[in-house]
Amino acid sequence: MTMLPPAARSVARRVYGGRGGASGDRSIPEEVAVALTYNRHAYATMMASPQDLEDFAIGFSVADGIVAHPGEILELEIVVLAAGIELRMTITPDRLQAFAARRRWMAGPTGCGLCGIEAIGEAMRSPPVVTADLVVQPEEVPRMLSALAARQPLNHLTRAVHAAGYWQPRAGLHLVREDVGRHNALDKLAGAVARQQLAEPGVVVLTSRVSVEMVQKTAIMGVPILIAVSAPTALAVRMAESANITLIAIARDDGFEVFTHPYRLADKAAAHVA
């Protein structure tokens, strides 16, 4: 494998402010085209940060239903190309058969009404219902955010990437993954959690807003609590409700809002949240 590109690069720029202009360098995040292939068949190309790519390959594959668990990926090779990076995976024969059928309808013409209906159904697929039980104290939420903020080296350098963290009662903030894309950061985290086979229930903590895909990915991970610093969409709230996920958003040092299933907060006041 050729060496991966760095996650950040230093570039020259000129700064303008109240006292005129000044020249200097700034660190900015790298963004690379990352292609995911299965048994040499192309599936998707994402723009991502070139780090933690094994986690990304596994997390994306599970989240998108290509495989059910990492063991169904028989081989994973990271291939650096002139135009980007290929995550070259070999999956089990039964998964390859299902993948081939899925890939056929995804490759349908844009004007095909049926293909559009199937694509909408895929995007709106019902998430699994999370059965894991976990209760956290309200005062632990800002601690999780503070711990996540302290463990974002790429964002500290560039101020331009998202992070997803995994918190557990006994381990604290056990894992953090960063990426220029919020979905990618969560996929990388999901892959890391799956690879480490963490059995104890945990909490996903995000630096981004909560869209429906973020809830779906969290549900597939089997995580009962999702915390984000920004607001959720209305569809994300409905999806969290149906997936039995406790959705906490607009989380800050001085407070947060609970949108679904407040029973996982050890606080009587949470039961009155609409």
Q: What is the pLDDT of residues 113-125, one digit of tens each?
A: 545 556 677 778 8
Q: Is residue 241 a contact partner of residue 260, using CB atoms and an 8 Å limit?
A: yes
Asked, for residue 41, whether it belongs to a domain, the answer is yes
Do both 159 and 197 map to the same domain?
A: yes
Sign of CA dihedral 146, 147, 148, 153: positive
- pLDDT, average across residues 17-26: 88
pLDDT at position 103 is 72
Residue 247 resides in a domain: yes
Q: Domain with 184 in it: what CATH number?
A: 3.40.140.10
- Report how many domains make up the chain: 2
Q: What is the rounded average pLDDT of the residues 173-180?
A: 97
Note whether 144 and 245 are same-domain residues.
yes
Q: Is 273 a residue whose pLDDT tops 70?
A: no
Helix (H, G, I), strand (E, B) or coil at 74: strand
Percent of the chain exceeding pLDDT 90 equals 83
**Please, what is the average pLDDT of the chain?**
91
**SS3 state of residue 158:** helix
Let me know whether 157 and 228 are in one domain.
Answer: yes
Q: How confident is the model at residue 143 (pLDDT cuts 50, 70, 90)?
A: very high
Question: Does residue 18 fall inside a structural domain?
Answer: no
Please check whether residue 17 lies inside any domain of the structure: no
Picking from 67, 89, 123, the residue at the C-terminal end of a domain is 123
Identify whether residues 67 and 162 lie together within a single domain: no
Residue 177 pLDDT > 60: yes
| pLDDT of amino acid 1 | 55
C-alpha angle 105/108/113, rounded to 5°?
A: 95
Question: What b/e sequence results for 128-156 when a residue is b if at least 16 CB atoms lie within 10 Å of its CB, and e otherwise?
Answer: eebeeebebeeebbeebbeebbeebebbe
Whether 38 is covered by a domain: the verdict is: yes
In the predicted structure, residue 274 carries a pLDDT above the cut 80: no
Kindly list the catalytic residues. 112
In a shared domain, residues 40 and 159: no
Q: Is the pLDDT of residue 109 over 60?
A: no
Q: Which residue's entry shows tokens 């596994």?
A: 58
Using the 3D structure, point to which of 123, 148, 165 is the last residue of a domain: 123
Whether 56 has a pLDDT exceeding 90, the answer reads yes
* 117 and 173 housed in the same domain: no
Contact 207, 173 (CB under 8 A): no
Distance, CA of 166 to CA of 259 (rounded, Å)? 20
Q: What CATH number is associated with residue 82? A: 3.10.20.10
Instruction: Read off the pLDDT of residues 185-233 as tens digits, 9 standing for 90 and up.
Output: 999 999 999 999 998 999 999 999 999 999 999 999 999 999 999 999 9
Domain edge (last residue) among 69, 95, 123:
123
Instruction: State whether 158 and 194 are in the same domain.
Output: yes
Q: Quick one: 167 and 83 in the same domain?
A: no
Residue 15 counted as domain residue: no
Domain of 238, in residue numbers: 140-272
Asked if residue 246 lies in contact with residue 202, where contact means CB atoms within 8 angstroms, the answer is no
Helix, strand, or coil (residue 216):
helix
The pLDDT-based confidence of 102 (bands split at 50, 70, 90) is confident
Calculate the dihedral angle through the C-alpha atoms of 93, 96, 98, 99, rounding to the nearest 10 degrees. Answer: 170
DSSP state of 229: S
Q: Where are the beta strands (DSSP E) in the chain?
A: 8-17, 20-29, 32-38, 41-48, 73-80, 85-91, 162-168, 172-179, 203-206, 225-228, 246-252, 255-260
Q: Are residues 265 and 196 in the same domain?
A: yes
Higher pLDDT, 268 or 203: 203
More confident residue, 45 or 100: 45
Q: How far apart are CA 165 and CA 251, in angstroms?
A: 14
pLDDT for 8 equals 98
Residues 78 and 166 in one domain: no
Same domain, 175 and 228: yes
